[in-house]
């Protein structure tokens, strides 16, 4: 009997319904960029327009930004739809797909939804969550059609360099597979001081397909301005597939996206100023915690610390009755996340959503004063365990 078809992702449901809190460190992007700061006037906007297989000014703007020809660009509803279309265009039911571990859950869920057999290759905490090409080599088979990874890595924020990605491309080529790189966090390079222009893995070889959006680094999630970079024949296939789903995009969002792309340097500078302050707070916090082990990437909005909880200690018993979970099945880490939520009104992403329950993902893209208070709460909660 075949396995039931995966139709949902627990992580996204949790993020939409249960991540909200007074101190929300569960978000992974830079705080929302306000419309009033975009400098748009009403006469620049319209409700409907000539958007069929892309809106030409947006196609041109994305192509220019990515340094590719417009026929390699497929505009999508966020990176989410980009990932779906990219995978659906290259996977047949029964194909093998090799995905990093830990991973952003929807990447795994989409591959399963499409009927692929999903294999995993490890990115180890002990090795700073780096991609180890030897691990990929060990896990590919002649049936592997797609290798999937994120750069920067979600959840750790770690950057993969071109030399490593080239090796991944060579491994893929040898078995006739492609490499899908979700680069939604690569845009974070542009939010450093001084900024670095992100250079997509798309330029590294024929086997690379890339997805991204303006969502995370620029606080522009609401525009849903996503894209895929793929060779023109594959891009055509994705556009046609998109006819079944997105078909015609929201034109007002396209117009706003063109304007945002024209002003992206300014928007990135706002993110950079915020993240410089917030990273200093994060560094101070992590320096002060011997009970957390954390790989610290130099840029971006997310880190994935490991709790050094003593697994033999009765953690739940150390919480006040009001905050302890009654179920004995709950792990020590789960109890800690409950304490954070119930006593401190603070949320982080529990590592179980990334299949590493002793970790949690912490986002630093929010308001600086709130982050400062939130990190103090996190310290108090950790202190209460010692």
Ligand X SMILES: Cc1ncc(COP(=O)(O)O)c(C=O)c1O
Residue 215 near ligand X by CB under 6 A: yes
Q: Output 168 or 315, the one with its CB closest to ligand X.
A: 168
Contact residues for 13 (Cβ-Cβ < 8 A; gap 6+):
none
Residue 221 near ligand X by CB under 6 A: yes
When binding is defined by CB under 6 A, the residue of 102, 157, 169, 226 that contacts ligand X is 226
Where in 75-114 is the site for ligand X (CB under 6 A)?
A: 78-80, 104
Site string for ligand X, 34-63 (x = CB under 6 A): ------------------------------
Cα–Cα distances in angstroms (integers) from residue 233 to residues 73, 86, 170, 237, 335, in the given order: 11, 12, 21, 7, 50
Instruction: Enter the tokens of residue 242.
Output: 């998109």
CB of 205 to ligand X, least distance (A): 21
Q: Which residue has the tokens 């071109």?
A: 162
Task: Classify strands 302-303 and 117-122 as parallel, antiparallel or unpaired.
Answer: unpaired
Q: How many residues bind ligand X (CB under 6 A)?
A: 13
| 208: enclosing H helix or E strand | strand 208-213
Q: Output 218 or 239, the one with its CB closest to ligand X.
A: 218
CA nearest neighbour of 152 among 350, 295, 283:
295
Cα separation, 46 vs 49, whole angstroms: 7
Residue 337 near ligand X by CB under 6 A: no
Task: Classify strands 144-150 and 23-24 as parallel, antiparallel or unpaired.
Answer: unpaired
Site string for ligand X, 148-187 (x = CB under 6 A): --x---x---------------------------x-x---
Q: Output 28 or 144, the one with its CB closest to ligand X.
A: 28
Answer for the pair 241, 88: CB distance below 8 angstroms, yes or no: yes
CB of 27 to ligand X, least distance (A): 9
Summarize as ranges the residues that interact with ligand X (CB under 6 A). 28, 78-80, 104, 150, 154, 182, 184, 213, 215, 221, 226
């Amino acid at each position: 009997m075949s396995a039931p078809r995966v139709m949902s992702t627990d992580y996204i449901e949790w993020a939409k319904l249960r991540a909200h809190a007074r101190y929300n460190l569960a978000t992974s992007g830079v705080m929302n960029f306000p419309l009033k700061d975009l400098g748009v006037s009403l006469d620049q906007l319209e409700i409907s327009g000539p958007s069929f297989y892309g809106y030409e000014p947006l196609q041109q703007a994305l192509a220019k930004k990515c340094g590719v020809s417009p026929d390699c660009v497929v505009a999508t509803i966020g990176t989410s739809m980009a990932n779906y279309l990219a995978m659906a265009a290259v996977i047949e039911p029964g194909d093998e797909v090799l995905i990093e571990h830990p991973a952003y859950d929807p990447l795994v869920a989409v591959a399963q939804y499409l009927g692929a057999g999903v294999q995993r290759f490890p990115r180890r905490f002990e090795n700073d969550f780096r991609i180890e090409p030897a691990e990929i080599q060990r896990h590919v088979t002649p049936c592997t059609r797609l290798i999937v990874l994120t750069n920067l890595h979600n959840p750790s924020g770690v950057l993969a360099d071109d030399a490593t990605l080239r090796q991944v491309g060579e491994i893929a080529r040898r078995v006739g597979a492609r490499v899908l790189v979700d680069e939604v966090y690569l845009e974070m390079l542009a939010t450093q001081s001084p900024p670095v222009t992100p250079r997509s893995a798309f330029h590294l070889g024929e086997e690379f397909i890339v997805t991204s959006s303006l969502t995370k680094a620029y606080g522009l999630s609401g525009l849903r301005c996503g894209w895929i970079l793929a060779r023109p024949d594959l891009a055509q296939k994705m556009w046609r597939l998109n006819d079944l789903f997105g078909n015609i995009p929201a034109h007002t969002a396209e117009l706003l996206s063109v304007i945002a792309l024209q002003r992206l340097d300014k928007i990135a500078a706002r993110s950079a100023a915020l993240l410089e302050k917030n990273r200093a707070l994060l560094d101070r916090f992590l320096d002060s915690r011997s009970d957390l082990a954390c790989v610290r990437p130099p840029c971006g909005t997310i880190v994935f610390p490991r709790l050094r909880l003593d697994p033999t200690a009765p953690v739940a018993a150390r919480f006040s009755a009001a905050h302890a979970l009654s179920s004995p099945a709950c792990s020590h880490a789960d109890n800690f996340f409950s304490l954070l939520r119930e006593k401190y009104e603070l949320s982080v992403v529990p590592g179980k959503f990334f299949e590493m329950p002793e970790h949690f993902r912490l986002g630093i893209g929010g308001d600086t004063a709130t982050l400062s208070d939130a990190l103090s709460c996190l310290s108090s909660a950790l202190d209460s365990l010692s």
